[in-house]
């Protein structure tokens, strides 16, 4: 497809279950971001990958959250022992640009439609 694809679109988990959310970025995009969006709020940064390297994971709320992008394309966000406060939409975004010499990325981030997680 032409855009960022996320799956599943909807996930209901019982408290304590583990979940895995998948992101297929636009082909060839170097940068990949995960954001968390609570109901009625703006997206909050979780983590950033440049190719397969996780360069920033400062936004991950706890060690129950883990993200990987082993081959520099598809990424998975895993949440262990889910809790009710994890309920949110998890957005993935990609960009054709990467950091260069420490310069920050500016320009368009292409967002997927998100995975809505509900923890009961």
Partner 1 sequence: GENVEQHPSTLSVQEGDSAVIKCTYSDSASNYFPWYKQELGKGPQLIIDIRSNVGEKKDQRIAVTLNKTAKHFSLHITETQPEDSAVYFCAAMHGSSNTGKLIFGQGTTLQVKP
Give me the residues that bind partner 1 (CB under 8 A), please: 4, 31, 33, 40-45, 48, 50, 55-56, 58-59, 91, 93, 95, 97, 99, 102-109, 111-114
Give dist(CA 26, CA 4) in Å, integer: 5
Decide whether 58 or 84 has the Cβ nearer to partner 1: 58
For residue 30, give Cα distances in angstroms to 2, 35, 52, 69, 86.
Answer: 15, 17, 9, 11, 28
Shortest distance, CB of residue 112 to partner 1, whole angstroms?
5
The nearer residue to partner 1, 80 or 113, going by C-beta atoms, is 113
Nearer to partner 1, 17 or 87 (CB): 87
Taking residue 43's Cβ as centre, other Cβ atoms within 10 Å add up to 19
Tokens at 5, concatenated: 């694809």
| Diameter of the chain measured on Cα atoms | 45
Q: How far is the CB of 80 from partner 1 (least distance, A)?
A: 24
């Amino acid at each position: 497809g032409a855009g960022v694809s996320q799956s599943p679109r909807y996930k209901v988990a019982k408290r304590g279950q583990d979940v895995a959310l998948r992101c297929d970025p636009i082909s060839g995009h170097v940068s990949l971001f995960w954001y968390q969006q609570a109901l009625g709020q703006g997206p909050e940064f979780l983590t950033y990958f440049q190719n397969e390297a996780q360069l920033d994971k400062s936004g991950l709320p706890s060690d129950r959250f883990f993200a990987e992008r082993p081959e520099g394309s598809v990424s998975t966000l895993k949440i262990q022992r889910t809790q009710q406060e994890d309920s949110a939409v998890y957005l993935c975004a990609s960009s054709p640009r990467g950091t260069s010499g420490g310069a920050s990325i500016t320009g368009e981030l292409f967002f997927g439609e998100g995975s809505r997680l509900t923890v009961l």
